[in-house]
Amino acid sequence: MKYQLLIKKISTLFIVAISITSLNLQAAIFITPKQPSINAASYVVLDYNSGAIIASNKPHEKRAPASLTKLMTAYVVFQLIQDGRASLEDDVKISEKAWKTMGSKSFVEVGKTIKLKILLKGMIIQSGNDAAVALAEHIAGTEGTFTAYMNEYAQGLGMRNTRFENASGLDYKDQHTTASDMAKLASATIKDFPEFYPWYSEKEFTYHDIKQRNRNKLLWSDKTVDGLKTGFTKKAGYNLVASANRMDMRLISVVLGSTSVEARTSQTQKILDYGFRFFETKNIGTITKSVPISNSTKDEIKVGLQDSKAITLARGQYKLSQQAIELNAGLSAPIKKGDSIGNLVIKFEGKNLAKLPLVALEDAPEAGFFSQIWNWILSLLGL
């Protein structure tokens, strides 16, 4: 027993750094300007793949969402279609309430039956309030019941500072959201419904021989922008949620409470350009490395990332970074495949840029008592 305790004490490992890359870092200068100052109540720019916030101002301030609400209306309908509880080919009868809904319209007619797909595209592309109400009533019976769906899904997506009270986004009592929450919803829409997301990039919608243009002007001026939604009411101001894909990087921006159509467009362009110009996304894929292990029948085991990870860095910084494996203190056998063993640390000029968890990729059985004695003797002899 004394020998076992002695061996365990001697074989205890402290943090061990194993270099993966070691580059001669010359005088590399990275100057990242301060985030843009724009004339809007709040905004946020999010790296879609890593989830990192690149720039923001008052991202959690509650604001009226206006027609950004329709992002959630569409999300609920998409989810029910995916679950088999609704279909694009459903016949939707237009109620008088839907027909009378004020604001932007798809010009549906009371009493008529319209395919669900047509209403969805009218709501997404042209921002029809009447289409939004018709969809809500078809899915849940009443618009009020449909908002219960909306708020449940919002909570599930982590939209903690959002409350929906209708399907269209018309100003109503305490209906509110934040730039941060809208970025989460946009990310979920892109991730969860890739088959429907291209609709957000369509520039025109025609119904009843009436052609209406998408209000997101960036779809014409920036070919990398492929969504998502505009909104305006007197209470909300001018809102815009956009997403763009450039140079293997997707950014999502949310601008709330801007002063005009032109302002929300130019300000969104400004913060997107800032993100793409000064930052980049790097996907850290499969990394396999052998590290020493004590008290085991093996001398070393393979370790790596459980899943590939995306990180956001200053543009050009990654290729000059250093990577090292830091093992957990006290690491020794037995170890099972999948056990946490430490972190992959990415550094630049001595500063940690990212720390990614590493796991064992194979088992490391514990050595027998006599094997541990022998390993201890070898370690004392420096062998």
Q: Which is nearest to 183 in space by CA: 236, 126, 240, 123?
A: 240
Distance between CA 278 and CA 335 in Å, rounded?
42
First-to-last CA distance in the chain?
A: 25
pLDDT, position 3: 40
Is position 67 annotated as part of the catalytic site?
Answer: yes
Q: Is residue 332 part of a domain?
A: yes
Q: How many domains does the chain have?
A: 2
HSE-up (13 A, CA, CB side) for residue 277: 13
Q: Is residue 251 part of a domain?
A: no
Domain range for 77: 61-216
Give residues with Cβ within 8 angstroms of 354, minimum separation 6. Answer: 284, 311, 313, 345, 346
The one catalytic residue in 11, 42, 70, 253 is: 70
Distance between CA 296 and CA 212 in Å, rounded?
70
Q: Which is nearest to 120 in space by CA: 79, 164, 178?
A: 79
Instruction: Mark whether 179 and 73 lie in a shared domain.
Output: yes
Instruction: Mark whether 67 and 190 lie in a shared domain.
Output: yes
282, 298 contact by CB (below 8 A): no
HSE-up (13 A, CA, CB side) for residue 270: 16
Instruction: Mark whether 304 and 372 lie in a shared domain.
Output: yes
Instruction: Mark whether 74 and 204 lie in a shared domain.
Output: yes
Instruction: Mark whether 22 and 76 lie in a shared domain.
Output: no
pLDDT, position 14: 34
303, 334 contact by CB (below 8 A): no
Q: Is residue 357 part of a domain?
A: yes
Q: Is residue 276 part of a domain?
A: no
CATH code assigned at 313: 2.60.410.10
Is position 332 annotated as part of the catalytic site?
Answer: no
Please give the single-letter amino acid code of residue 199. W
Instruction: Mark whether 200 and 95 lie in a shared domain.
Output: yes
pLDDT, position 277: 97
Please give the single-letter amino acid code of residue 172. Y
Instruction: Mark whether 294 and 195 lie in a shared domain.
Output: no
355, 343 contact by CB (below 8 A): yes
CA distances from 152 to 76, 141, 202, 362, 374 (A): 10, 17, 29, 41, 61
Model confidence pLDDT, tens digit, residues 265-281 = 999 999 999 999 999 99
Instruction: Mark whether 66 and 12 lie in a shared domain.
Output: no
CATH code assigned at 146: 3.40.710.10
The one catalytic residue in 42, 104, 106, 127 is: 127
Q: Is residue 255 part of a domain?
A: no
Residues 144-179: b if buried by 16+ CB within 10 A, e if exposed: eebbebbbebbeebebebbbbbbbbbbeeeebbbbb
Distance between CA 346 and CA 13 in Å, rounded?
22
pLDDT, position 376: 54
Among 182, 198, 216, the domain boundary falls at 216
Q: Is residue 209 part of a domain?
A: yes
Q: What is the pLDDT along the chain (383 residues), one digit of tens a residue?
A: 434 433 343 333 333 444 454 444 445 567 789 999 999 999 999 999 999 999 999 999 999 999 999 999 999 999 999 999 999 999 999 999 999 999 998 899 999 999 999 999 999 999 999 999 999 999 999 999 999 999 999 999 999 999 999 999 999 989 999 999 999 999 999 999 999 999 999 999 998 889 999 999 999 999 999 999 999 999 999 999 999 999 999 999 999 999 999 999 999 999 999 999 999 999 998 778 888 887 777 888 889 888 889 999 999 899 889 988 888 887 788 989 989 989 999 998 888 999 999 999 998 888 754 455 555 555 555 55
Instruction: Mark whether 78 and 198 lie in a shared domain.
Output: yes
Instruction: Mark whether 71 and 211 lie in a shared domain.
Output: yes
Distance between CA 317 and CA 231 in Å, rounded?
37
Residues 12-37: b if buried by 16+ CB within 10 A, e if exposed: ebeeeeeeeeeeeeeeeeeeeeebee
Instruction: Mark whether 65 and 212 lie in a shared domain.
Output: yes
Q: Is residue 244 part of a domain?
A: no
Q: Is residue 185 part of a domain?
A: yes
Among 216, 235, 261, the domain boundary falls at 216
Distance between CA 19 and CA 293 in Å, rounded?
16
Instruction: Mark whether 15 and 100 lie in a shared domain.
Output: no
Q: Report strand pairing: 351-360 vs 340-348.
A: antiparallel
Among 181, 216, 251, the domain boundary falls at 216
CA distances from 193 to 130, 196, 264, 279, 349 (A): 23, 5, 26, 27, 41
